[in-house]
Amino acid sequence: MSLSEGGQLSTPVPVGNVTPAAGTLPSAAAELTRATGRSNRRRVRLHHNQGRAALGFLLPNLLGFLVFTAAPVLISLAISFTNWDLQNPSHFRFIALENYRELLHDRPFRLYFVNTLYLMLGIPVAIAGSLFLAILLHQKIRGSIVYRTMFYLPSFTSGVALMLLWKALLNPDFGPINTAINGVLDWINPALQHTFIGALTAPRWLGSMQNVLGLTPESVGFEGKFFGIGARDALILMAVWTAVGGNNMLLYLAALTNVPPELYEAAEIDGAGPWSKFRHVTWPQLAPTTFFIVVMSVIGGLQSGIDVARVMTRGGPAGTTTTLTYYTYQKAFEEFQMGYASAVTWVIFLLIFGFTLVYWRAAGKEINY
């Protein structure tokens, strides 16, 4: 600005590059906003394209889940509230909770529930055996990989083939297990004949109703004459042998590998021995793995029994090896009572869900992941 002849200030007029009037060209901020908007729109379109591509890849698996898993589950829930019987389809009707009320007074259901729980007694033994074997195989010894492979190899065997093999092993007359037991008894029985114990005989295994708890076969109770070793104990023996060197062993091996070695070094400095190191270092570090193994083992135990019963025992003798799942199979595909069988299935689900929820709340909060 300059002073004019009249003594007033005047604004100089620019010469050359003329300043544009307001609104003739977009400002830099407006241009930046439009560029950002275009970039965001391109990013959204890219994300939409990626989402459609991902959905296309997932669609076959999703459809398979909906058709073969989700839909049957929901249909079975609906069927459990009906009296659907394949032998009398014309009498099909909705009966609400009648099947579930009948379960409360169903004596076979209670017996087979006890059988299921009895067969699950091998779970703690199998878990402890898997942990012990994993600790042995975790040692830095020559050929440890070979040993791990040898112990895990039986897990690749087909379930039916394994059951047929054990059925032959447990044959009471000419099976190799009883042959070995009889050889030992022939040596010690002469010394026992004149004692209160008396002469011992080899178990009848799959043909015997005896068990180590003395459970009666056709009622929920105990009786001395049923104390011994029988079909249920044979199935527990087979299950423990199968589980000890299986997936649980691999899970414990992986968990042992992740235990920080400095914890063992600190324990040794404090003078801890092998048992103290296991109790205060190894076991707490394995708690998350043990939690997972226990939950999955109990779920598997409540769902198991149908394949063993079909191949080895047919649920006998006198129903001592019939579990809840095999009872479901009998009701559905032998007696054709689809509604009642569906109700039994959902009771099994409620048992699994209830155990998982209680165990999660009781032990899950004490575990540091």
Bridge partners of residue 9, in order along the sequence: 3
Evaluate if residue 157 carries a pLDDT over 60: yes
Q: Would you say residue 357 lies in a domain?
A: yes
> What is d(CA 268, CA 277) in angstroms, rounded to the nearest whole number?
8
Q: Which residues of 45-62 are buried (b: 16+ CB within 10 A; e: fewer)?
A: eeeeeeeeeeeeeeeeee
pLDDT of 83 = 93
pLDDT above 70 coverage of the chain, percent = 87
Question: What residues pair up with 222 in beta bridges, in sequence order?
Answer: 215
Q: Which residues pair with 10 in a beta bridge?
A: 2
CB atoms under 10 Å from CB of 208, counted, come to 19
Q: 264 lies in a domain? A: yes
Q: How many domains does the chain have?
A: 1
Residue 32 counted as domain residue: no
pTM, to two decimals: 0.81
Q: Note whether residue 360 is domain-resident.
A: yes
Residue 108: inside a domain, yes or no?
Answer: yes
Query: Would you say residue 341 lies in a domain?
Result: yes
Q: What is the pLDDT of residues 161-206, one digit of tens each?
A: 899 999 999 999 999 999 999 999 888 888 877 777 777 889 999 9
Q: Is residue 280 in a domain? A: yes
- Find how far residue 118's CA is from the centre of its chain: 19
In order, the DSSP letters of 113-179 are HHHHHHHTTHHHHHHHHHHHHHHHHHS--TTHHHHHHHHHGGGGS-HHHHHHHHHHHT-TTT-HHHH
- The pLDDT tens digits for 45-100 are 767 777 788 888 888 899 999 999 999 999 999 999 999 999 888 889 999 999 99
Degrees (nearest 5) of the Cα angle 13, 14, 18?
125
pLDDT, average across residues 259-286: 89
Mean pLDDT of the chain: 85
CATH number of the CATH domain containing 293:
1.10.3720.10
Domain membership flag for residue 81: no
Domain that holds residue 347: 98-175+231-366
Q: Which of the four pLDDT bands, split at 50, 70 and 90, describes residue 113?
A: very high
